[in-house]
Amino acid sequence: MEWLGISYRAIGPELVLAVTGVLVMLLEAFSPGKKRRDGILAAAGTILAGVVALTLWDEGPRLAFSRMIIVDGFRVFFTLVILLGTLLTIFISWTFLDEERIPPGEYFALLLFGAVGMTLLVASNDLVMVFLALETITIATYVLAGYRREDLRSMESALKYFILGAFSSAFLVYGIALVYGATRTTNLAEMARLVSGSLGRAEVVLLMAGVAMLLIGFGFKVATVPFHVWTPDVYEGAPTPVTAFLSTAPKAAGFAAFLRVFSLTFAPLGIESVADQLAAHWVAVVTAMSILSMTFGNFIAIAQTNIKRMLAYSSIAHAGYVLIGVLARDWAAVAFYLLVYTIMNLGCFAIVALWARRGDERVLIVDYAGLGFRQPMLSFPLAIFLVSLAGFPGTAGFIAKFWLFKSAWGAGFPELVLIGVLNTVVSVYYYLYVVIVMFFREPREEVARVPLSRAFVATLVVTVVGVFYLGLLPTRVFAILNAAQSLLAVGMR
Amino acid sequence: MTTIPISWYLAVAAVLFTIGTVTVFVKRNAIVMLLGIELMLNAANLTLVTFSSYFRELAGQIMVFFVMVVAAAEAAVGLAIVVLLFRHRETLNVDEAQLLKL
């Protein structure tokens, strides 16, 4: 069976996650309601998957399963980012599950199944795999978004997420069909080889249409303007730990696939080829998407009164920044940005989830008034995360933005860098507004302190340390990423 | 015997896809919107099958199986969400789902 390229090692992390997910679900069926056991098992599975992913690090680019799965540094790094996001989400959900009296087994299992889809998406080297992995993610997350069944907001969020998600999937599938018609293959490596030459006129037209459809599909999945309409509603209505998950891990996975398809497969080569013809168009469209996402996201975020909606618009703006990296075709910068974003955003949402309490009672920005010195364990970390999201020097957010803008400048997108920097300045306003409300406004009524669970403290420690470590001593991670990038460049063509 | 040219199949698929897209935009009933999405997916399937038979290879047809399975799974989850909403609201109109302002 060597020719099929079956290699269980190549899908090790996914196997571990899937088996853990099934195990958690089975345990729940036979002895329900044991949150501690299910949660620890899910966390252990996630960590084990991370260890297995690390063992794949040194295996240079290689393909498995009929060239459907790729093993390289790019994949391993993104897998680790996703697993970190999943692990922290499990911690964040700890208090939430108690308060909402939600059966923990299915919840953790769905998180793990979603993570399987994400890690597979990062590993896919074929459009069929991209489609399947994306659907695994979205179907698991539709259910998670509607998890608070008694709450109309949660149901509405699930409905909107579902209809727009399925709609965008249809675009993606149609795009894949057209690209298949033009190139006779769905394999990305094969496609990269084909588009580096020339094709017939009809094929080029089909390919253009197909790539446009793919762009729409991906645009929806990573929530960029003008395909962002679902984001604020879904983020506001979904249970807060789920929102934390949705805004980080699937985004990292979506951008990884975006990079794989656009920045690596349809990359301009600087010679007379189909790829360059295509790139002339997609680069223009993605530039527009990036500018619109940054500007729209930041300006609308200013007007928000609900902190979850504000963070939703902020995530749209951050997607715009990441697109700059996609255009610069520097996947290491994008990977670093997404790692940093995952850490600071999850930290932010951990506090928002805890403060919101049962049934999302306190999610308005004014509800944070007076939090500052009354419960510094919540307010100081939140201030750190917000400042990092805004990109202040000394925090990880600054380094991530700096690297992204630097590589975009080098790749010849100075106007995008300029717009990005201006937008960063705008974003400072609404991030700092929350900090000001926390520390300098008196609360409308005296509120009781919120008890902190051990899982929550662990989340805070990991995220705060992460923000400062990557902000002050990023060289080690830089070196790792650069090594992986040069290895990938050798293997691709 | 004259064969039907490939462009006809593709045209039918494109028309189906457009009808599906317009349905999602125009209709406000959640079930009908779901139907529109199914129509779009089937348009993609038709395109895949057409190319597959034109190229005389199987990859496209196998992809169609995947799409069908995924569509079924999606419909299962989607209908569950719609049923849940109907129980609380007694309506299928998505415009009434406006607790979260769009």
pLDDT at A491: 45
Determine the Cα–Cα distance for residues B52 and B60; give it in Å rounded to an integer: 5
pLDDT at A114: 96
CB contact under 8 A, A143 and B17: no
Q: Which residue has the tokens 């009808």?
A: B19
Q: Determine the 3-state secondary structure of A460 from DSSP.
A: helix
pLDDT at A150: 79
Give the A:B interface size as CB pairs under 8 Å.
121
As beta bridge partners, residue A70 has A63
Instruction: Give the CATH number for residue B69.
Output: 1.10.287.3510
pLDDT at A198: 85
Among partner residues A153, A155, A171, which is closest to B81 by beta-carbon distance?
A155
What is the average per-residue pLDDT within A16-43?
91
CB contact under 8 A, A178 and B47: yes
* Within a domain: B1: no
Q: Is A3 exposed, middle or buried (0-12, 13-18, 19+ CB in 10 A)?
A: exposed
Confidence of residue A288 (pLDDT cuts 50, 70, 90): very high
Confidence of residue B5 (pLDDT cuts 50, 70, 90): confident
Q: Is B67 on the interface with A (CB under 8 A)?
A: yes
What is the average per-residue pLDDT within A304-329?
94
Chain A residue whose CA is closest to B54: A181
User: Strand A62-64 vs strand A69-71: parallel, antiparallel, or unpaired?
Assistant: antiparallel
Q: Is B17 on the interface with A (CB under 8 A)?
A: yes
Determine the Cα–Cα distance for residues A349 and A339; give it in Å rounded to an integer: 16
- Per the structure, the count of domains in chain B is 1
* Within a domain: B59: yes
CB contact under 8 A, A157 and B100: yes
| CA end-to-end span of chain B | 56
pLDDT at A274: 87
What is the average per-residue pLDDT within A363-374?
87
How much is the pTM? 0.94
Q: Which residue has the tokens 């069929």?
A: A128
Exposure of A420 in the CB half-sphere (CA atoms within 13 A) = 29
Confidence of residue A363 (pLDDT cuts 50, 70, 90): confident
Given a cut of 80, whether residue B89 has pLDDT beyond it is no
* Within a domain: B74: yes
* Within a domain: B13: yes
CA distances from A66 to A2, A59, A77, A427, B62 (A): 10, 18, 23, 46, 14
Given a cut of 70, whether residue A2 has pLDDT beyond it is no
What is the average per-residue pLDDT within A113-135?
95
> How would DSSP label each residue in A223-287?
T-TTS-THHHHHHHHS-HHHHHHHHHHHHHHHHHHHIIIIIIIS---SSSSHHHHHHHHHHHHHH
Q: What is the ipTM of this complex?
A: 0.93
* Within a domain: B21: yes
Among partner residues B17, B37, B77, which is closest to A143 by beta-carbon distance?
B77
CA R_g for chain A: 22
Q: Which residue has the tokens 């960029």?
A: A224
What is the average per-residue pLDDT within A67-75?
89
| CA end-to-end span of chain A | 27
Mean per-residue pLDDT over chain A, rounded: 90
**Domain encompassing residue B51:** 6-100
Compute the nearest-CA separation of B27 from chain A (Å): 12
Q: Is A441 on the interface with B (CB under 8 A)?
A: no
Question: Per residue in A170-189, pLDDT tens?
Answer: 999 999 999 999 999 999 98
